[in-house]
Structure 1
Amino acid sequence: MKHQLVTIADLCLDILFTADVVPKYGQVEQFVNDYHVDLGGSAAIFASQFAKLGGNPALFGVVGTDTFGDILTLKLHESGIMTDYLVKDTETKTAVGLGLAKGDDRAMLTYKGTMQSVTPERIRKAGILREAKHIHIASFYLLDQLHELWEQELKSLKQNGVTVSLDTNWAPEGNWQAVHSILGYVDVFIPNEEEALLISGQPTCDLAGEWLSTKCGLVVIKRGAAGASVYQNKEAVHFQVPSALTKHLEIADTTGAGDNFAAGFVYAWLNQNSIAESVNLAMRCGTTSLSKIGGIAGQYVP
């Protein structure tokens, strides 16, 4: 049976703090305002929002045989994400993300752990890619061990009618051009503005969008409070965030806002909504998630 959407997960446990402080060394102790422990990783946040919208995502991921792995497994089930392809690694500790949010910004530390256990061999053995109608690629740079897999697999998947969306996220190693080799297989590319500039090498959002749209089918650039810009067939359309979404909004944390935006857009796009309708749902998902700590707690539920 073909799955509506498949994603390969940079699965980790997110431990998030909110505070008005910046960490100091020298054994300086400071207080934070709040904390939250939840499902983490771009793909998992995306899949959770996709499921809340009514989709049926399947996720491939790896966790350790430890307490954090048990928590993630439970939270995946609670989020309505199919876990038939979840692998338990007995030799590696579960990946952990530590975040400190201050206003609309955040600092992040990541222990990759079982993220490094997400290997091409395990993915191929699971057979999940052959069961996909649509594949969403998240954290392209963080899961750098999969670059060759995508280069090898996407051509045949596209020939079999599979559609592809991509949200690269940040490149910790600065290897921004690594994604160029797969852009031609991407139907929907959803970077944020800074990522779009760095990947394209262009100086402005419009030039980046135009350049990327010559490589991909459709480019949707996330621009935070400035909304979103869509580029297709040498045309650009800019969308503002509706005032109704921000009128009474108090931002608790920006974690996962871009992933939730992407989930909203892809869900609407796969259901053959117009570009405007897809952006509207994406903005609703991305903005709503800002109201709670973490990427999952504030997700939009129709």
Structure 2
Amino acid sequence: MLKVISFGEALIDMLSNRISDSQGAVDQPSDTESFTKYPGGAPANVAAAVAKLGGNSYFAGKVGADMFGDFLVQSLEDLNVQTDYLVQTQEAKTALAFVSLDSTGERSFEFYRGPSADLLFRPDDFKPDWFQGPGIFHFCSNTLTEPGILEATHAGVEIARSAGWLVSFDANLRANLWPQGADPYESVWHCVQQADLVKLSAEELDFLCRGQDEPEVIGRILAGRAVLVLVTDGGKPLRYFTAEGAGTIAPKTVTMVDSTAAGDAFVGGLLFRLSQLDITGARLGELAQDTRQLEGVLSFASACGAHAVTRAGAFTSLPALTDISGEH
């Protein structure tokens, strides 16, 4: 089973007890609002998802040397995520994200992040011995928002590529994390072109299109390094694209409670299966040509995402292998 390193932000999701409608009105406005802390951050969620399924999972990043950082370290270790590459720093506090849900389980975020500890990871925090042997390196776009962490992200990708690792990129675009007036377009496109595996939501694909047709943009992605492009759209069918063709995977119908970790559970399930199959960057093309095996991997990942939305929180909603194995 391959080693999987998820790099980026680990933060605290402060989940509100109130349910709002699509206009922002709450169900019981006279009640006192309270927030419950959950471990979160997309790459940390992915690391937890891989580990909970039984994978060889590592998380790389920085958190504060504070009560929230301690909570995150312990939460990751409780799920058997290796935290050797997770640094606690006195220079900044752990980031917070206040999360509100509507009546369908869709969430909205308000971030308290800058400056925060996760933004202080630097290129020399990566160590070459992390990348000994084959493996998978996964990252998102939230480490592109400031120059220092952007440089570190590019360094991590380059080290992973040089070591022959499979590089996985989930755009996971959060516009409210970027400086006012900043345009993430070029930075996100650069990372899309550096990855072997690219995962986008339908909204993120639309963001990348900017007036171009979807097939043209998918073709542009596949003309670069990417071997597999995945486009998720909530409860609608997953779409996948390779140089050999395209297809869809219909998700399981479930009652959604909280969508916070849906995409991360999907990615975690995907990376876990790829690690089980020893799919390195060099072997991803073989998988892309085997439609039956590829769709089996994607169906497993889709089931992981479907399981996650039926429970509240991020880490707390992630499936164990026994939760999914009966279906696959």
From the superposition, tell whether residues 132 and 7 of structure 1 become closer, same or farther in structure 2 (CA, over 3 Å): farther
Contact 1:209–1:221 (CA<8 Å) still a contact in 2?
A: no
What does the per-residue CA deviation read over 1:233-258, in whole Å, with 9 as the maximum and x for residues that have no partner?
Answer: 062112211xxx32xx3211110111
Query: What TM-score do the two structures reach when normalised by structure 1?
Result: 0.86
Q: What one-letter code is carried by the residue in structure 2 that aligns with 1:252?
A: V
| Residue 250 (str. 1) matches residue 239 (str. 2) | no
- CA-based RMSD: 2.8
Which amino acid is the alignment partner of residue 147 of structure 1?
L
Higher alpha-carbon deviation: 201-210 or 187-196: 201-210
Change (3 A) 1:147 1:62: closer
TM-score normalized with structure 2 length? 0.79
Alignment of 1:1-302 (within 5 A): 4-21=3-20, 30-31=30-31, 35-102=35-102, 103-112=104-113, 113-124=116-127, 128-129=130-131, 133-141=135-143, 144=146, 145-152=148-155, 154-155=157-158, 157-172=160-175, 173=178, 174-201=183-210, 205-215=214-224, 216-233=226-243, 235-241=245-251, 245-246=252-253, 249-272=254-277, 274-302=293-321
When residues 290 and 258 of structure 1 are mapped into structure 2, their CA distance, relative to the original with a 3 A threshold, is same
1:265 touches 1:281 (CA, 8 Å); kept in 2? yes
8 Å contact kept, 2:200–2:230: yes
**1:190 aligned counterpart, secondary structure:** strand
Query: In 2, distance between residues paired with 1:251 and 1:32?
Result: 25
CA 118–152 in structure 1, closer or farther in 2 if over 3 Å, else same: closer
**Displacement, 1:150?**
4.1
Structure 1 pair 250/204, CA: closer, same or farther in 2 (3 Å)? Answer: farther
Report what 2:281 is aligned to.
Answer: none
Query: Would you say the 8 A contact 2:238–2:250 is kept in 1?
Result: yes
User: Alignment identity in percent?
Assistant: 21
Structure 2, unmatched stretches of 5+, are 278-286, 288-292, 322-328
Q: Measure, in 1, the Cα distance between the counterparts of 2:229 and 2:319.
A: 23
Q: Stretches of 4+ moved more than 6 A in 1?
A: none
* C-alpha distance in structure 1 between counterparts of 2:174 and 2:143, whole Å: 5
1:51 CA displacement: 0.9
Q: Is the 8 A contact 2:134 2:163 kept in 1?
A: no
Instruction: Give 5+ residue unaligned stretches, structure 1.
Output: none
Distance in 1 of aligned mates of 2:196 and 2:243: 13
Farther-moved stretch of structure 1 (9-18 vs 29-38): 29-38
Q: 2:63 & 2:134 partners in 1: Cα distance?
A: 22
Rounded Cα–Cα distance in structure 2 between residues aligned with 1:167 and 1:109: 20
On the 8 A contact 2:132/2:163 being kept in 1, the answer is no
Q: CA deviation at 1:118?
A: 2.0
Distance 1:131 1:6 in 2: 12
Deviation at 1:161, TM superposition (A): 1.6
What whole-Å deviation, never above 9, does each CA across 1:79-128 have from its counterpart, x for those lacking one?
1100112211113111111100112322101122112122223234x853
